[in-house]
Chains A and B, each alone.
Chain A
Amino acid sequence: MKEELQAIESEALAAVEKAEDSQALQEMKVKYLGKKGSLTTVLRGMGKLSKEERPIIGELANNVRASITEALDAKTEKLERAALDKQLETETIDVTLPGNPVHVGGRHLLTSIMEEIEDLFIGMGYEVKEGPEVETDYYNFEKLNLPKNHPARDMQDTFFITNELLLRTQTSPVQARTMEAYQGNRPIKMICPGKVYRRDTDDATHSHQFRQIEGLVVDKNITLSDLKGTLDVFAKKMFGKDRKIRLRPSFFPFTEPSVEMDVSCKVCNGEGCSVCKQTGWIEILGGGMVHPRVLEMSGYDSTVYSGFAFGMGQERIAMLKYGVNDIRHFYTNDVRFLSQYHQA
């Protein structure tokens, strides 16, 4: 019997190896392992065996069954895989054809710049304050140490609505409103971004509407060095860690002393080029120590509190950072301009 079983095994394995489709394999399964298959037929003769032989032959028979089953399964899988491969081959497409276009939107470049600046100062503990764009003369000028008839009012050509109402020329009234709201009894760390308006004819460098962002810090013992350090952090974040800053004296009615901040030109690295008009420096923003009268007018005791303020045009920052050459691009909203800078 042992020989018979071994013969069945080798015959079956050879047949499976030769099988070419799943139907042939099915037939072989019946032929060798089925109820009437050759293995079953051989095993029917087990009864004739001795008690000692029976378990040996039984084990052998199981092994032969397992071996044939395994071969059948392996061959089945192989044939199926071949069939699948053949089918997939027919499904080949031209991957070089263009894909389904996705409509890409995005933020306006100025929004991206504004949010970048906001996030930088939020990280340093500033809150973000906003205020009305139609302001009163009182908050836009008088509260900022610009009484009526002050010669410096000429610096800002104003769109008046009535004698008392106007389109704000700066975001500083938000500072005045915040100081007033805090009633002189708590420190302040804030920035105020927003639209402002001036009587300028629109050209490559002027726009009757533009955006500013201003900052204000008020506390006991705020120093001019604090302003310098803060602006240095800002400049390095916005324009690169290798940039240097310098302060120059300037004049704004609501700060004393007042400064302009220049950043070293990144085009020429301070050597002088056409971008920086050969000076090696580019004017970025203005600031200074809050004028004691401005503090006092909003209820802050200027002998106890001091503060610094700074302000900049967002368009100017964007133009310098991205090399935009005409401020009107921001307001024309040509899709070919906007999509250069999109960022969701």
Chain B
Amino acid sequence: MLVSYNWLRNYVNLDNVTPEELAEKITRSGIEVEGIEYLAPKSENIVVGYVKSCEKHPDADKLNLCQVDVGEESLQIICGAPNVGSGQKVAVAKPGAKLPNGMKIKKVKLRGVESNGMICSLQELGLDEKYIPVDVAEGIFVFPEDAEVGVPVQELLNLDDAILDLDVLANRPDALSMLGVAYEVAAILNQPMELPDENLTVDESIEAKDYIDVKIDSIENNPYYGAFIIRDVEIKPAPLWMRNYLMASGIRPINNVVDITNFVLLEYGQPLHAFDYDQFGSKQVVIRQGKVNETMVTLDDQERQLNENNLVITNGKEPVALAGVMGGADSEVTDETTNLLLEAAYFNSASVRHTVKQTGLRSESSTRFEKGVDPNRVKRAGIRACSLLQKYANGKIAGGVVEVDELDKSEKSVTVTTAKINQRLGMELDEKDVTSVLSRLQFEFSKNGEEIIVQVPTRRLDISIFEDILEEVIRIYGYDHLPYTIPQGWVQAGGLTDIQLLQREIKNYLSSAGLMETLTYSLTNEKDAKRFLTPDIEEKPAYSVGLAMPMSEEHSHLRLSLIPEMLRVLQHNVARTQTDLAYYEIGKVFISREEEITNQPIENLHVAGALTGLWHNHPWQQEKKPVDFYVAKGIVEGLFAHLELNVTFVQTKMEDMHPGRCAEIRLNGKGIGYVGQVHPLTAKDFDVKETYVFEIDLESVFAVHQLTPSFTDIPRYPSVTRDIAFILDNDIPAGDVQAVIKEIGAPLVKEVSIFDVYQGEHMEEGKKSVAYRLLYQDPSRTLKDDEVDASYQEIIEKVNNQFGSYVRS
């Protein structure tokens, strides 16, 4: 809402408060002033001049030579505007004047003729082109005849005005009107208010009911409709002050009738609509719901398709306006209009909102109906408009208003006590602190013992309960007076849950392991949403969740894996010559088990990593180690070692992964993730080089993890190690043999590690040598050589039997 400071002065005394101070006070009391704009910076030496004569420049067709009376003197001015003419009152910038755009006016010679000033357009005086009336947009501005010659134009054109831009939130539709803002400002400044003139002299010879009848078929959407009849109006420009205020408020003046309805709309917050009575098409207004297949042409010359959700104004035959949104082209007020039908009505906000959503037509009127108008101001706005039409359009106001009225105009009452207010605020206000705020807001109240019974004026639609009055009291009394306290009484030990602590622990580990955390979008494209699924997701049909109306295809579906968006992050960095990257992310994936989603999807927390380029690089020592499968796997193994969980790795195949370099990660035999190389074709898709990734379902980890490890005594007795190298067929996984050794050797074998793998020269075709180191230990005694030897022999024998291997000598 743009609020003109000068306009506001008509209702509240602002003599002791500058626009800046006022803006600050309004902001601190509840409605944020987002900015202050001055219409035009102070410009002097621009006055009203009278064009005594105007003739063609002797040497230039398009220039006029004007003699202009500016009060003390007469100036010869050359003017190029097409609309200049003798007898006009115009804005003259005298030599020495400075225009808002920085231009300095000097005496000049144009084609040999002296020009001692400039006749100005409104643009040149600093007004925004889009608010300038069409008839003067292409040329100079012409003042009404009664403008006094020699007077500075600054005040006459309201150029010294400051415009406050109020950010009015949904709870304060009352502040979408000058009167509403005036009530607010009067309360803030503790000043009395002056209300607009609603005096009206009706023409006793005409009765509105003889001209019009009103019938409402949809009373729940339109509980009040008032029809005023104004005859014999004279269409002309509105008075200059009114045009000034409209332009300052961001509305372009059109003619006196349209301007008056707009003026009252801004002043009262009540939209009005003026129909050309003679083009209305009947003597009856019928308000009803639209019909399917019905159409109408709105003021903007668009044909609109209607349906039963649109409330329409009709002439009994066909729609003439979309109620509260836009009028029809046929009954528009034009220069030929002489008789008016003026509508002041209350349209239900949900109904108007529906039509706005459907048509996309949002206007000053519809916005106010959508947010709610004051039921007690509807008819008064009509009367105010009639009073102005009488004054500024010489209209004859018909007696009576034809109306249908089932509108609830009653005031709510809310009961409060000072004690309860203090209890909720944590303050010690006196009763008179409370009642003085109510008086400043012009809320009437009565007292009953401790109770204060507040009558809430209908302009304040936002107030209906105790807490609303509480807010009024503290915002006007001042939030700065609130003390600073901390909740007393009940105490609990704050903290993170085990699962939250575990997430932090995983972040600690991965960060320390050299990976950088990323944060990517949960929404991705449809194709990528369903790639790189962990085995726990794939075990049943899984669907990605799509948005009903995505903003773009790139962000249309919720991800089932963190990897695709992480690959995109790699790509972004690689394209910026950052080639060695190691990233991790912890975030949710969204799994729907229904093809047509009806329930909330399963949300599982995942951890994923993506690595590419060099893992280690020490150039002058010629040490370079690119990321490979075992780097990625080592990070995963380290993670589970850190979490004290045993996982196993099983060769697997996945669509987007290298067929020979991918392992499923299993926890207690259940697949919970994978680690491996991204398939070269997929990598190409994402425009990344050789890349290794892992992804793990953390919900499976949380399900088995014990946050507090149990204590195990440090071994007191020495351990014994034995090494064995087995010659194995190439396709036997070394890890399988390792697991079997551990199984056979239990409980004496505590650890089995692989310390050498050899393939190639001196090795039989199709075979490999894998060397294992076995660690024997008993926590309660020193082991004897012969029992270790016996176990060692048993292991060799059983492994050879199971895998067809033999021991390398």
Contact = CB atoms under 8 A, between A and B. Distances in A.
A333 B569 contact: yes
Interface in A128-154: 128, 130, 132-136, 149, 151-152, 154
B511 A103 contact: no
Interface string A326-341: 0000111111101100
B581 to A, nearest CB: 6
Interface stretch (A58-66, A74-82, A106-114, A263-271): A106-114
B546 interface: yes
B523 to A, nearest CB: 7
B475 interface: yes
B74 interface: no
A155 B521 CA distance: 22
A229 B483 contact: yes
Which one of B427, B479, B621 has the highest number of Cβ atoms from chain A below 10 Å of its Cβ? Answer: B479
Contact of B30 (A107, A223, A248, A330): A248
Nearest to A306: B424
Contacts of A292: 465-467
Given A125-B494, A135-B600, A248-B27, A103 B487 contact: no
Interface of A is mostly: mixed
Given A133-B522, A160-B548, A161-B548, A122 B170 contact: no
Contacts of B423: 221, 223
B489 A160 contact: no
A331 B521 contact: yes
Interface string B345-372: 0000110010000000000000000111
A291 B32 CA distance: 22
B520 interface: yes
B371 A151 contact: yes
B475 A108 contact: no
A239 interface: no
B601 interface: yes
Interface stretch (A12-20, A39-47, A84-92, A194-202): A194-202
A195 B508 contact: no
B519 A330 contact: yes
Nearest to A160: B548
Given A104-B514, A209-B521, A224-B424, A128 B471 contact: no
Interface string A312-333: 0000000000000000001111
B714 interface: no
Contacts of B617: 101
Which one of A152, A226, A339 has the highest number of Cβ atoms from chain B below 10 Å of its Cβ? Answer: A226
Contacts of A335: 516, 573, 578, 581
A132 B493 CA distance: 25
A248 B493 CA distance: 32
B514 A105 contact: yes
Which one of B492, B493, B583, B597 has the highest number of Cβ atoms from chain A below 10 Å of its Cβ? Answer: B492
B475 A257 contact: yes
Interface in B573-624: 573, 576, 578, 581-584, 588, 590, 597-598, 600-601, 603, 615-618, 620-621, 623
A127 B618 contact: no
Interface of B is mostly: mixed
B452 interface: no
Contacts, number: 251
Given A124-B494, A223-B425, A224-B426, A106 B517 contact: yes
A343 to B, nearest CB: 8
Nearest to B475: A249
A217 interface: yes
A31 interface: no
A247 B486 contact: no
Which one of A118, A132, A249, A258 has the highest number of Cβ atoms from chain B below 10 Å of its Cβ? Answer: A249
Interface residues of A, number: 88
B597 A165 contact: yes
B603 A219 contact: no
A232 interface: yes
A341 to B, nearest CB: 10
Contacts of B494: 121-127, 189
Interface string B479-505: 110111111111111111100100010
B545 A134 contact: yes
Given A103-B616, A223-B425, A333 B548 contact: no
A134 B590 contact: yes
Contacts of B514: 102-105
Which one of B487, B588, B598, B623 has the highest number of Cβ atoms from chain A below 10 Å of its Cβ? Answer: B487
Contacts of A133: 522, 588, 590, 603
Which one of B494, B512, B523, B584 has the highest number of Cβ atoms from chain A below 10 Å of its Cβ? Answer: B494
B603 A134 contact: yes
B474 interface: yes
A22 interface: no
B517 A338 contact: yes
Contact of A125 (B483, B491, B573): B491
26 contacts: A100-B618, A100-B623, A105-B510, A124-B486, A124-B494, A132-B600, A134-B601, A152-B171, A159-B549, A160-B547, A189-B492, A189-B494, A197-B523, A223-B425, A223-B485, A225-B426, A225-B427, A226-B426, A228-B482, A248-B479, A251-B171, A256-B471, A258-B471, A292-B467, A334-B576, A335-B573
Query: Which 3 interchain pairs have the tightest Cβ spacing?
Result: A223-B426, A103-B514, A225-B426
Interface of B: 27-30, 32, 169-172, 349-350, 353, 370-372, 423-427, 465-468, 470-471, 474-475, 479-480, 482-497, 500, 504, 507-508, 510-523, 545-551, 555, 558, 569, 572-573, 576, 578, 581-584, 588, 590, 597-598, 600-601, 603, 615-618, 620-621, 623
Interface of A: 97-98, 100-108, 110-111, 115, 118, 121-128, 130, 132-136, 149, 151-152, 154-155, 159-162, 165, 167, 187, 189, 195, 197, 199, 201, 208-209, 217, 219-226, 228-230, 232-233, 246-251, 256-260, 289, 291-292, 306, 330-336, 338-339, 342, 344
